[in-house]
Amino acid sequence: MSAIAALGYPLVAALGRTLRWRVEGLGHYEATLAGGCPPILGFWHGRILPATLYFKRRGIVVITSENFDGEWIARIIQRFGFGTARGSSSRGAVRAVVQLKRELANGRSVAFTLDGPRGPARHAQPGAVWLARATGHPVVPFHIEAASAWTANSWDRTQIPKPGTTVALCVGEPLWVAADADDEGLEQARLALEARLDALASQARRLAGLPHDGVEDVARAAPRRPGLHGDG
């Protein structure tokens, strides 16, 4: 496990130094920090790598699963300056959410891969909106698209930007969830979060200079042969 982290960190860091970023909407994230209400950042599992590179060294606490993948991911992102809360929908969920509530109260932003750790892809699980209701902190969604990338044949279509490419980051408006929201209110918030992420994905594709032929629906994408596939 430590060997994976030792090899993975310098490779990912070297890739990050070659990327060119185009960013829209970052003020939404910065405004919540300036207002003393650090956000719950929400994004899709398939964008973990570029998200790690952009938001490094900001003290953000990320929830990671307790399986093998979650362990080596946690070790790598810790070296980029992230904190980790271990747990998932199937293991350690309550413990992880309690830690995230504590981190928000202490002034640190937290982050969710909304469809992790197993999917279905681009289907937001309720954890982020539940945490927003419980804490009064907003969910700030974002999406990242690389102009040229490799795409893994995994459930989440993990994207690995190619060296030197342009990467677009689009951050959306904060989503606030009322403290007295009932189950129906939570579901409406979850659906609103998905809709915002769909819009951000389209925006990021345009910003990256990609054809606007509809955002890739990874949940219904045609099967590919195993391995990495180049885009762009």
Q: What is the pLDDT of residues 136-186, one digit of tens each?
A: 999 999 999 999 999 999 999 999 999 999 999 999 999 999 999 999 999
Which residues of the chain, if any, have pLDDT below 70?
Answer: 1-6, 65-71, 86-93, 213-232
In the chain, how long is the greatest CA-to-CA distance?
47
Element (H, E) at 44: none
The pLDDT value recorded for residue 132 is 97
Q: Can you list the positions of beta strands (E) in the chain?
A: 20-24, 40-43, 61-64, 83-86, 110-113, 139-146, 149-152, 159-161, 166-171, 228-231
The pLDDT value recorded for residue 227 is 53
The pLDDT value recorded for residue 64 is 76
The pLDDT value recorded for residue 68 is 55
The pLDDT value recorded for residue 107 is 95
Domains present along the chain, CATH in parentheses: 2-231 (3.40.1130)
